[in-house]
Structures are given as structure tokens and as C-alpha cells.
A = this chain, B = another copy of it.
């Protein structure tokens, strides 16, 4: 059976899931903006610019659902998901400077509007602002999870810079990169949601693993969309990763399928500054070798594992929300 049909059986959609945590999301938006209380107007301006442009707030949604699944009713998930968004945004600001990005979420990126210098510093501001709120929250277990996550994320970016220029990147190193880049923070969100609701250690460990696996599949699906998404939906030109010389899942899968001549050509394209024609050629090959479907099937094996973990946790609408999200990271088209 086509695995996509299996997904059709679900009764929820993304609007239903977001509806479960709508009030939380509204409180979070207020929290994010209320904290922009710097004496230095420019700092608030840049942070406001970035937060106003939205973003899916997917990490907070994972934390809210994880906490709600265990009946959490307090306000700490608002504060702590705000901390996560600060850390996440700080890394985006620094990444955009490093990649010389021009756009972010359909708007000019902060580095284009405010310059690299102010953008780097506002990233630093958001890191330290996050830390201030974490200290106020006062839970050393949560603090350690996020401190280690931030550490892993910066290490992972360095590893990516050092490694992904290599066409021979193996899957293990690729997974290490996307763990650091994405999955560690998803994992932290789910674990923290569990911890603040005082569930058992076994339960919080399960949510930690769930978050990690969903985070990996989220990034893999992102990497597939980068080549094979519909630009009308993603709002991005296909092939950015190829342009930036980043070796990702679709190319790793295709590498083993190409004939000798194609392989030689793709290898050469990857190692040079690819032209628009080069990118089109690589995408053409990806379509020829059905990489979207192969990639999605590969990601699907992660999703199944993630949902198996969930099946051992309390069955309620919030768990169903998390199940849906595990699917959504594959099925989404942007």
C-alpha cells in the first residue's frame, strides 16, 4: 500500500492540531514581544523584525503538546518555549550571516536589512536573553538540557562547514549534522514539556527520543523539499543546498543510483559553483531516479519509529496531535 494512503486515514489536520494549543501560541507571541525590553532601541528593532516575520513556531507546539499530554496546566511552557525560540532565532541570524542569505521567510533577511555586524550581535543578545529567562525559571535540569542543546548546535554547524563540502559524506555523518542542526532542539522541546509536567523519568526519556526522531525526519524532509519541493509552496528557489555545497539526503541517496557518467557529472557540479543549468540537471536526475519517493519512504521509517514510541504514552488528543505532527513533517509541502 502506498504509504501516503496510510496517512490519509488520520482524522486531524494541521489546523486542528494548532487549535489544541491556540491559546498557548497567542501567549507565546506576547511573551516573545514583551521580552524585547532592551534599553538599546536598535536591538529591539532587529528582534522585532525577526519575530514579526513569524515562522511556524513548530518547536513550541511540540513542547505545548508534550506538556499537555501529561496534563500540565502552568505557564512555564510559555516561558521555556520562548527561550527555545530565542535560541533558535539566534542560530538563524548567525546562519544567515555565515551563508550570506538574502531572504528568510519570504522577507529580506536581517543581515540584508541591518548588516552583518548588528545581526551577529543581535544573535548574541537573543542567546543571553534566553539565558536570563532560563535562570529565572530556575530548573537546573531544564537549564542543562538547553545549554547542552545550544552547545551541540554550534558544534554541529562547525562540523557541517568542515564536512558537507565533501561529496563522499556518509549517512552517519549526515545524521550527526542534522541531529545537531535540528533534532537536538526538537528533542529538548519534547523532553522539557514532559519534565515540567512531572511525569516519570521513563516517560520523559521516551519523549526525548520521540523529539529526536521527529527532528531528524523534519530536517530530512526539509532537505528533500530543497530540491524537489514546489517553489510556489516553499517560496524558495530549488537547489539552495547544492549552491551552498551542502551534501544532503537526496544527493546521498542518488549518489548510489547514478551510472558512471552521471556520477562524474554530478560530482563535478557539486564541487564547483553550479550554474542554473547545473541545478536543473541535478533536479532532472532526481526526478528520473524517483528521489522524492525514495526519500519520503526513507523518512517514513523514522516516522513509524517515532509513532511507536508515542503509542506507549497516555492516549489523549494531545498525543494524537503529536502523532499527526510526526506525519506532517513528511507530508507538508513547505
A residues neighboring B (CB under 8 Å): 38-40, 42-43, 90-91, 94, 97-98, 116-118, 120-125, 127-129, 131-132, 134-136, 138, 140, 143-144, 147-148, 150-151, 153-159, 161-162
Closest B residue by C-beta to A132:
B147
The reply to whether B135 and A38 contact each other, CB–CB distance below 8 Å, is no
Give the shortest distance, in Å, between A139 (CB) and chain B (any CB).
10
Q: Which residues of B contact A121 (CB under 8 A)?
A: 94, 98, 154, 157-158, 161
Q: A155 touches which one: B43, B94, B150, B153 (CB < 8 A)?
A: B43
Give the shortest distance, in Å, between A286 (CB) and chain B (any CB).
28
Cα of A50 to Cα of B124 in the assembled complex, Å: 19
The reply to whether B124 and A154 contact each other, CB–CB distance below 8 Å, is yes
The reply to whether A155 and B125 contact each other, CB–CB distance below 8 Å, is yes
Interface of A is mostly: helix
Cα of A117 to Cα of B154 in the assembled complex, Å: 11
Q: Which residues of B contact A42 (CB under 8 A)?
A: 158-159, 161-162
The reply to whether B97 and A158 contact each other, CB–CB distance below 8 Å, is no
Q: Which residues of B contact A156 (CB under 8 A)?
A: 40
Q: A162 touches which one: B40, B120, B134, B148 (CB < 8 A)?
A: B40
Cα of A286 to Cα of B225 in the assembled complex, Å: 61
Known A-B contacts: A40-B156, A40-B162, A97-B116. Give 8 more (CB < 8 A).
A40-B159, A42-B162, A121-B157, A125-B151, A128-B148, A131-B131, A131-B143, A132-B144
Q: Which 5 A-B pairs have the closest CB atoms?
A: A128-B150, A124-B154, A128-B151, A125-B154, A98-B117
Known contacts A42-B162, A158-B43; A98/B116 CB under 8 A: yes
Q: How many of these chains are in the complex?
A: 2
Cα of A116 to Cα of B91 in the assembled complex, Å: 15
Give the shortest distance, in Å, between A243 (CB) and chain B (any CB).
16
Cα of A43 to Cα of B158 in the assembled complex, Å: 7
The reply to whether B158 and A131 contact each other, CB–CB distance below 8 Å, is no
Cα of A144 to Cα of B136 in the assembled complex, Å: 8
Cα of A42 to Cα of B161 in the assembled complex, Å: 10
Tell which of A116, A136, A147, A156 has the most Cβ of chain B within 10 Å: A147
Q: Which residues of B contact A159 (CB under 8 A)?
A: 40, 42
Q: Which residues of B contact A161 (CB under 8 A)?
A: 42, 117-118, 121
Q: Which residues of B contact A138 (CB under 8 A)?
A: 140
Cα of A43 to Cα of B161 in the assembled complex, Å: 11
The reply to whether B120 and A39 contact each other, CB–CB distance below 8 Å, is no
27 contacts between A and B (CB under 8 A): A39-B155, A40-B162, A42-B159, A42-B161, A43-B154, A91-B124, A94-B124, A97-B120, A98-B116, A98-B117, A117-B161, A118-B158, A118-B161, A120-B120, A121-B157, A122-B158, A124-B157, A125-B151, A125-B155, A125-B158, A127-B150, A127-B154, A128-B150, A128-B151, A131-B143, A131-B151, A136-B144
Cα of A226 to Cα of B124 in the assembled complex, Å: 26
Cα of A143 to Cα of B128 in the assembled complex, Å: 11
